[in-house]
Amino acid sequence: MKKQEENFEKVKLSGIGMLIFNLIFLAAIVVAFLWIVGANLSSPLLAVLIIADIILFIINIIFYCGFIRIEPNEAQVLVFFGKYEGTVKENGFFWVNPFYTRKKLTLRARNLDAEPIKVNDKNGNPIMIGQMLVWRVTDTYRASFDIDNTSMPIITSSGFHNKLNSKMKAYEHFVKVQSDAALRYVAGTFAYDNTDNEDEKLTLRSGGEEINDILEKQLDERLAIAGIEVLEARVNYLAYAPEIAAVMLRRQQADAIISAREKIVDGAVGMVKHALAKLSEEEIIELDDEKKAAMVSNLLVVLCSDERTQPIVNTGTLYN
């Protein structure tokens, strides 16, 4: 079974208490040194006491290396000569074994607003798609030991190497690469729209929350190895690639025109049918098949025409 994060259960003392103890310890070492120098002791004993006092002073300095400070939504991974001992997440000021190697991590949420990338959808059409991602580190063991979190050093304005920022930049790079891979997978699984296949209901353009849920699931699977949790993921940019955008726009316009024409024709046929039924029901006029055909033709022209029709007044009989 793969090892996961564990809480640090070994010696962890109050930082304030140990700080006071170290100061008293240091004062005692100084007083002892002054007494040794002023005492009338034999040379061998004097040398032994001075060496012992120096050793105690070195121990006191080493003790100062055991202080750790944990701020809200931060953690420190403790390693003792290569062995993982646990993670401290409790906020406060503490003292631990100064020989522990400490890896500081931030557990705060971070954003990734990825630039749109060019991919091919399910139908092979080149599209531009981008995403927005909110993530954070949840498993400090995996984040520290299961991926390479080394990166180029970041130099602050004061000139010091900021190890925490360097490490988090490495995580950001890992998240960026994996999020691009997940986005390419989702984009290649679905079509941009369903113009070619009306039976394909779920598309990138119309999928909405379903596409976002699929993207989030893919990201969770890919980032779990690094102990990273995806809080939110969504497609925030979707368009055809520039080289086919104009052609696809005309195609969409044509589809819209055809759809509108179908509705107009359906409505016109219904109105003509209703008009003929009304004339027959009210017995206003008797029309033979030829006159009905002429009337249907005229009404369809009036109802379906893009231009405003000009009426022609018949001054003779209906049958002339």
Instruction: Tell me the pLDDT band of 155, cut-offs 50, 70 and 90.
Output: very low
Distance CA 185, CA 3 (A): 29
Q: Please tell me whether residue 146 adopts helix, strand or coil conformation.
A: coil
Distance CA 248, CA 243 (A): 10
pLDDT of residue 157: 47
pLDDT of residue 19: 95
The verdict on residue 313 lying in a domain is no
Distance between start and end Cα atoms, the chain: 96
| Co-location of 157 and 198 in the same domain | yes
Residue 154 has pLDDT above 60, yes or no: no
DSSP 118: E
| Co-location of 143 and 219 in the same domain | yes
- The answer to whether the beta carbons of residues 278 and 271 sit under 8 Å apart is no
Domain boundary pick from 215, 240, 265 = 240
pLDDT of residue 181: 93
Task: For residue 103, give the amino acid letter.
Answer: K
Distance CA 62, CA 212 (A): 52
The verdict on residue 157 lying in a domain is yes
Task: For residue 300, give the amino acid letter.
Answer: L
The verdict on residue 316 lying in a domain is no
Tens of pLDDT, residue by residue over 19-33, are: 999 999 999 999 998
| Co-location of 234 and 119 in the same domain | yes
The verdict on residue 229 lying in a domain is yes
Residues 6+ apart with CB under 8 A from 125: 191, 192, 240, 241, 244, 248
The mean per-residue pLDDT over the stretch 292-312 comes to: 65
Distance CA 206, CA 195 (A): 12
Tens of pLDDT, residue by residue over 238-270, are: 888 877 666 667 666 666 666 776 777 777 777
| Residues across the chain | 320
> DSSP string of 200-218?
----TTT-THHHHHHHHHH
The verdict on residue 168 lying in a domain is yes
Tens of pLDDT, residue by residue over 56-75, are: 999 999 999 999 999 999 99
| Co-location of 133 and 227 in the same domain | yes
| Co-location of 234 and 260 in the same domain | no
The verdict on residue 5 lying in a domain is no
Domain enclosing residue 294, as ranges? 250-304
| Co-location of 221 and 284 in the same domain | no
Tens of pLDDT, residue by residue over 39-52, are: 777 778 888 888 99
Cβ neighbour number for residue 240 with a 10 Å cutoff: 20
Distance CA 167, CA 154 (A): 9
Residues 6+ apart with CB under 8 A from 159: none
Report the half-sphere exposure of 307 (CA within 13 A, side-chain side). Answer: 3
| Co-location of 260 and 141 in the same domain | no
To the nearest whole number, what is the mean pLDDT of the chain?
Answer: 82
pLDDT of residue 272: 72
